[in-house]
A and B are shown apart, each in its own frame.
Chain A
Amino acid sequence: MSLQNIIENWSSYRKGAEQGGHHNYEHLWGMVIDLNKCTGCGACVTACYAENNLAVVGHEKYSRNLGMNWLRIERYWDEPDLGEESVAEYQHHGASFLPMHCQHCSSATCEPVCPVAATYHTPDGLNAQVYNRCVGSRYCSNNCPYRLRYFNFYSYYEESWPAPLHMQLNPDLTVRDKGVMEKCTFCVQRIRTAKDTARRERRKVRDGEFTTACAQTCPTSAMTFGDLLTLHTPGGGVGETEAASLWKKHQVELGKSRQQKQNPELRGYRVFEGLNTDPRVLFLERVREV
């Protein structure tokens, strides 16, 4: 999608998710995260650092919110019940974890505000960031309700990967420099490799053929990555994937800002769905004994 295309189709480009968006998708990559399974171990964060050449900024900068972790585990603590409950019971209830990476919203708030069209939607349904086009205005980050875009305020190359460590960099990705916004790509290099292999063998990409680094590493398989195109256009894409069947099972529909569930026991929800961003990551609520 070139800049010209965006300018010519501007009115449809701004179309919200409830009008079906503007895209003719080839794929619609999405994810399901089962919070029942998530233990908050942080293996996905480490995997993301290794896969995507994320800069290690150091303790001092991290504490100033300059960390470059595309995937972060948010922690939420239960309100301590100051009544009859004891402290021990509060600890038993513990924390809840929420792994947050780019939600790849269908009508993403970051996309229309970019002055140079460095962030846009690919035909694969990914929210893309073109690093060499980015001028660092940071509008996208300010407009993201999830705060899942990270800005390179410094050049981290020297301090992050000193001499022998630069050998561990992933050659399929750019190392971002100062003044560039970056974000989760759903491991686009893996998607690209899988699509190239599929093309070589003259077939479609299979479900489960590849997965993102975080989903691959998750020790409890809490994350399920897959093509959701069957939810958008029935019969398209890779077919009914595991992720798409989970979306169906929990009766969460794409392109809606409010879900109508028949069964209150269904656990699926999307973060900030009411903002009509149409995020592509489905969370399955954690069930607890009270």
Chain B
Amino acid sequence: MSVTGLLFSGHSSCTRADTVVDRGIRRLPVLVTLFVLCAFAFFLPQPAQAQSPIPNAVPPTDTYSGPRVEQPIEFPHDVHVEQNGINCMYCHTYARRSKVAGIPPTSKCMGCHLVIATDKPRIQKLTEYWEKREPPPWNKVHDLPDFVHFNHEKHIDRFVLGNDFPVERVKEVCAFCHGEVKNMTVAEKSRPLTMGFCQRCHQANEGPFDCWKCHK
């Protein structure tokens, strides 16, 4: 009764109380089902936002699997991105303003890891490098040939900053070429990054098609 009463309290076209109750009782099973469904949907984790597509963009679909590049420290991207929700551009800070995305300086790592998770073996290894005043010798994963010119800034501008796309979701744009880094520990190359791969994406997204835009 309380549910139906609440639902029909604003129903002004009905004048007599018994009619209201009648209608309410007849509709009760439907309403209860709806209510339960809504409640269920409310308490579920919401993947709807992440699935809304990126405007004005056709993401590439090619995949690649090659040898894994070993790193001095097994940096867990998944812990940082997926569990802690850190933006890609917090560490790869030059992506939006220069050709290269950049590897963060060790001081940026230590900004958090002086206090966070200092007992973990990877962090202790990082602290060793920090105390030796040496950067960890990271190995390059996404390596383009020397005759190719790729500009991160322009791509971020095209798909995120100049596209009314929230910067918080930039990882979906990064995933165009870098794959689902949020699910990886050490970053792996999961797109072919060949000329055909670039060209198909440029064709689909109306990018420039001049040889000298990319070749130098």
Contact = CB atoms under 8 A, between A and B. Distances in A.
Interface string B133-160: 0000000000001110101011001000
B209 A196 contact: no
Interface in B175-216: 209-212, 215-216
A130 interface: yes
Nearest to A118: B211
Interface in A107-126: 120, 122-124, 126
Given A132-B215, A173-B216, A189-B216, A123 B154 contact: no
A2 to B, nearest CB: 5
Nearest to B211: A130
B37 to A, nearest CB: 48
A152 to B, nearest CB: 14
Contacts of B149: 172, 192
Contacts of A133: 211, 215
Contacts of B212: 122, 124, 126, 128, 130, 188
A200 B216 contact: no
Contacts of A122: 210-212
Tell me the dominant secondary structure on chain B's binding face. Answer: loop
A123 B153 contact: no
A179 B154 CA distance: 33
Contacts of A5: 209
Contacts of A192: 149, 216
B153 to A, nearest CB: 7
A241 B146 CA distance: 34
Contacts of A126: 212
A165 interface: no
Interface in A161-189: 172-175, 188-189
A199 interface: yes
A131 interface: yes
A120 B211 CA distance: 9
A196 B215 contact: no
B152 to A, nearest CB: 11
Contacts of A189: 216
Nearest to B145: A132
A82 interface: no
Contact of A174 (B97, B151, B157, B216): B216
A124 B211 CA distance: 12
A124 B208 CA distance: 13
Given A131-B147, A196-B153, A2 B209 contact: yes
A287 interface: no
B67 to A, nearest CB: 24
Contacts of A128: 211-212
Nearest to B151: A196
Contact of B210 (A1, A174, A199): A1
Contacts of B216: 172-174, 188-189, 192
B213 to A, nearest CB: 8
B203 to A, nearest CB: 10
A172 B157 CA distance: 21
A124 B215 CA distance: 15
A170 to B, nearest CB: 10
A130 B209 contact: no
Interface of A: 1-2, 5, 120, 122-124, 126, 128, 130-133, 172-175, 188-189, 192, 196, 199-200
23 contacts: A1-B209, A2-B211, A122-B212, A128-B211, A128-B212, A131-B147, A132-B145, A132-B215, A133-B211, A133-B215, A172-B216, A173-B216, A174-B147, A174-B216, A175-B146, A188-B212, A188-B216, A189-B216, A192-B216, A196-B151, A199-B157, A200-B153, A200-B157
